Each structure stands twice: as C-alpha cells, then as structure tokens.
C-alpha cells in the first residue's frame, strides 16, 4: 500500500514539475511582412489585337 502511495506521489510530483517548467518557457517569434511586386506584361495581347486590326485593312 505504501509503495502505491509513493508511486502516486512521485507521478504527481513529476507532472507538477513538468507543468511548472512548461509554463515558464516562452518562445519569441518575429514576423516581417514584405510587399510582393508582380509585373504583368500585356504587350502580347495588345500586339495581337493590333495585328488582327491591321490584317482587316488588307
């Protein structure tokens, strides 16, 4: 009976120490938001439309 009681107290002590140590830990993270630049080239569509327009004149 005493053996079970000692094991229970040891487990309770271990859980208590683990929760105290886990609660004291802190992790600091830094976030940086950078802008994203997107360049779209629309010259192909304009050139195709221009070629189609000029082909109609021929």
pLDDT for residue 15 is more than 70: yes
If 0-12 CB within 10 Å is exposed, 13-18 middle and 19+ buried, where does residue 12 land? exposed
User: How far, in Å, are 36, 38, 49 from residue 33 at the CA level?
Assistant: 9, 16, 39
- Percent of the chain whose pLDDT exceeds 70: 83
Using only C-alpha atoms, what is the Rg of the chain?
36
Q: In percent, how much of the chain has pLDDT > 90?
A: 3
Domain ranges of the chain: 1-25
Say how far apart CA 35 and CA 52 lie, in whole Å.
38
Please name which of 1, 21, 19 lies closest in space to residue 11, comparing C-alpha atoms: 19
Query: Is the whole-model pTM more than 0.75?
Result: no
Per-residue pLDDT tens digits for 21-47: 777 767 788 888 899 988 876 667 777
């Amino acid at each position: 009976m005493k053996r079970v009681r000692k094991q229970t107290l040891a487990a309770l002590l271990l859980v208590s120490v683990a929760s105290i140590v886990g609660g004291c830990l802190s992790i600091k993270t830094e976030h940086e938001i950078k802008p994203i630049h997107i360049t779209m080239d629309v010259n192909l569509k304009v050139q195709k439309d221009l070629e189609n327009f000029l082909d109609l004149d021929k």
